[in-house]
């Protein structure tokens, strides 16, 4: 299934207004969960957030932060976990965050059941 991308607003000064252009690009592809959360927060005010997310879903991006969401192995994940066995509290938090991710994707007009695969 292919997603239609929204037209880009030509009045947006691409280089000046995009956080991924202002900050170190490695931040969006970090191994550190804290840095990925920072990248997600920087995407919050981006004028191309919805288009970025839709494009990443369409391409099934293998990793990184796209449109304010974390992708890992082509799936949207609520947060990146550090290496090792997760704590029980983290597993419960992941379940809550998965619901929040689905709500954010729906708010951006992406039907999570057909257009994006959420990691378990």
- Res. 51 pLDDT band, cuts 50 70 90: very high
Query: In whole numbers, what is the pLDDT of the chain averaged over residues?
Result: 79
Instruction: At 119, give phi and psi (nearest 5°).
Output: -70, 145
Neighbours of 113 (CB within 10 A): 10
Show binding-site residues. 20, 43, 46, 52
Average pLDDT over residues 51-69: 92
| Greater model confidence, 1 or 41 | 41
Show binding-site residues for [4Fe-4S] cluster. 20, 43, 46, 52
Q: What is the pLDDT of residues 67-105, one digit of tens each?
A: 999 998 888 888 776 667 767 777 788 788 888 888 888
Neighbours of 43 (CB within 10 A): 21
What does the angle CA 101 – CA 107 – CA 74 come to, to the nearest 5 degrees? 45
Kindly tell me if the per-residue pLDDT of 2 is higher than 50.
no
Average pLDDT over residues 35-51: 91
Q: Which of 58, 59, 84, 56 is nearest to 70 (CA)?
A: 56
Q: What is the pTM of this model?
A: 0.59
Asked if 104 contacts 68 with a C-beta cutoff of 8 angstroms, the reply is yes
Q: In what helix (H) or strand (E) does residue 70 lie, and over which residues does it extend?
A: strand 69-72
Tokens 């990248």 — which residue? 39
Q: Which of 26, 63, 69, 62 is nearest to 46 (CA)?
A: 69
Q: Is the dihedral of CA 45, 50, 56, 62 positive or negative?
A: positive
Kindly tell me if the per-residue pLDDT of 1 is higher than 50.
no
């Amino acid at each position: 299934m292919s997603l239609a991308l929204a037209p880009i607003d030509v009045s947006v000064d691409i280089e000046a207004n995009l956080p991924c252009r202002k900050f170190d690009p490695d931040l969006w592809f970090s191994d550190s969960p804290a840095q990925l959360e920072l990248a997600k927060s920087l995407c919050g005010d981006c004028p191309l957030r919805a288009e970025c997310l839709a494009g990443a879903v369409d391409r099934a991006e293998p990793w990184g932060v796209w449109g304010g969401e974390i992708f890992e192995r082509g799936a949207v994940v609520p947060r990146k976990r550090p290496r090792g066995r997760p704590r029980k509290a983290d597993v419960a938090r992941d379940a809550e965050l998965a619901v929040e991710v689905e709500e954010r994707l729906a708010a951006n007009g992406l039907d999570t059941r057909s257009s994006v695969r959420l990691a378990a």
